Structure 1
């Protein structure tokens, strides 16, 4: 009998060491929760034996219970590195059809090739849906959806109006080359480029070249400076010249004080077809606010009314778990709210590996929540929750398990020696 009792002790000690070894092996695993082996004694009893005569029959492992205490918080530079401070799990779902929702505390998320936010195993992070205005539609398990970052946002708008306010150098000389050639810098004085957009939101370069056509006026010493002059402005979209009617240029005229006298309003260019071929387009140019001064050429104001389609530039997750994407056109779009799921008995969750769990009848049904809700933890962006394994505690437990194994092995050896002695008795 003592042989089997000691054997059960050996097995219990071995299970204890296996649990501790598993904990130690996952010291660096993010979101890992340690387990504790729990044992019970075995009593072989019957109705004919008095309580004082009952002898134990060893031990048995009752459970390997998970410990859901919070792990250490490790700072990270990734906006999609998330940690839960307090209670709650992130909900993740495999991309396969009919896949159920699983749960994790490991918030090391990334963006895959299809723009979905996933964990290291490719499971997609679940969020609560929002409408077009960024308002939450629902916060139940049925309203969960995959978090996907749209690569673009906004509606494109073709540029129709460009405004340039420049300071012309009144002392600039007429260029040495008589004609105009945009590839010959000696045929014009200055140039400036404005980014405009076609109907598809594609950027185009509108370059305006400024050429003086009348020489500067010299004044006698002591007399007011004469800032008058006439300039021609040649504008191009890429390689296409913009025609003001049939004229290839717009004439700017300044009076003696340097004030702009012509053109009086905006100039409408002839229609042109962008290189993208999206749709024919027509621009107007306003030079209002320009002036002539005895100072270097300078662009004071430069605007256009086109809108490009915004490209994804970044993503943030705030303390409420709201995911917001920012785009190159200045638009900030709320994509949803990260779900935090709770359970009545987290220790009853089934371990799936990869720091992931699934619900069971013992854990209770998942309860939907969000960061900051009553009873829920809070989401921390730019942080990762590490393992909750305490190395010192585990090493002490490992020594105790080793001593237990050695003691039971000694008891087993002793039982074997007793059996051998009985077998060696001679009549």
Structure 2
């Protein structure tokens, strides 16, 4: 029995090493959120047995839980590099016909050939409609539209676009060569009651699930969403020193369980060899 108990500990230590390795591998990934392996003990006994004389039967993986703590903001030179100081997520939409909605903290946006502002997986950043005063008129995913850079002024096609600015409240303003401005909308952001329930799909993107609950959509600076910082990116929230210490601990755990298996094997061999 001790052989299988130690084997469960060996598997747990291996999983812990895998999670820590993944955290360290993504130190340089923008918007990455570290994870932590959570384990629980295994105990089994019949109602007629005394728990005082029963030993545990090992451990099992309970969950690999993501840690959505704030990462460090790093300044860049690009207006379309966006970072969130808060708990919100950017809302992005994929290409039709699927048009999958995903949520990300990776604000490394760029412009594609269709002048859409897209993220690292090609999904388009969503904007909420605003009125003449810059106030959001509808805060739902259905009302959000793709962030598309205009080529010229809506009132004069001969006047070209010269600048785009993004405020901390997510308001996107286009400036044209004749000095006129146009508010394109506010960046759509989402918050979740249970962030740990989000389903990771890679590239610092997540999808909502029944465990995360439905997203609350709004513009930046509202509630827990936080503000948007143009010209900055959020670094991974991985502390290398902390992860290295955890790596050493997981390695020691792995070695101890391997030694326990070796000891159990030697004991069994000794018993079998008795004449």
Find the counterpart in structure 1 of residue 85 from structure 2: 85
By how many angstroms is 1:132 displaced? 7.5
Show structure 1 runs of 4+ deviating over 4 A. Answer: 131-135
Q: How does 1:27-426 map to 2 (within 5 A)?
A: 27-130=27-130, 136-156=136-156, 309-426=158-275
Maintained 8 Å contact 1:310/1:331: no
Q: For 2:163 and 2:8, how far apart are their aligned partners in 1?
A: 58
**5 Å matches for 1:12-27?**
12-27=12-27
1:155 positional shift:
3.6
Hey, what's the Cα distance between the residues in 1 that align with 2:8 and 2:92? Answer: 40
TM-score, normalised via structure 1 length:
0.63
- Compute the displacement of 1:374 (Å): 2.5
CA deviations on 1:367-424 (whole Å, 9 max, x unpaired) are: 0121111232111111100000000000000000000000000000000001101111
| SS across alignment from 1:153 | coil
Map Cα deviations across residues 355-377 of structure 1 (whole Å, 9 max, x no partner). 00000000011001211112321
Q: CA deviation at 1:23?
A: 0.1
Where structure 2 has 5 or more consecutive residues not aligned to the other structure, the ranges are none
| Distance change (3 Å), C-alpha of 1:41 and 1:134 | closer
C-alpha contact (below 8 Å) 2:172/2:187 kept by paired residues: yes
**How far has the Cα of 1:325 moved from its partner?**
1.1
- Matched residue of 2:223: which SS? coil
SS in 2 for 1:142: coil
Q: Contact 2:6–2:258 at 8 Å: present in 1 too?
A: yes
Bigger drift between 33-42 and 99-108 goes to 99-108
Q: CA deviation at 1:47?
A: 1.3
> What is the deviation of 1:153?
1.1
The number of equivalent residue pairs is 275
The Cα shift of 1:63 comes to 0.4
CA contact (8 A) 1:309 1:329 kept: no
RMSD value, Cα? 1.4
Q: In the alignment, is the contact (CA less than 8 A) between 1:127 and 1:339 conserved in 2?
A: yes
Q: 1:105 to 1:37 in 2, by over 3 A?
A: same
CA offset at residue 326 of structure 1?
Answer: 1.3
Distance 2:134 2:220 in 1: 17
* 1:13 CA displacement: 0.3
Greater share of helix:
2
Q: What secondary structure sits across from 1:379 in the alignment?
A: strand
Shift of 1:5: 0.4
- Helix, strand or coil for the counterpart of 2:217? strand
SS in 1 for 2:263: helix
Q: Deviation of residue 143 (structure 1)?
A: 1.2
| Separation in 2, partners of 1:321, 1:26 | 28
Largest Rg, 1 or 2: 1
Q: Look up the SS of the partner of 1:335 in the other structure.
A: strand
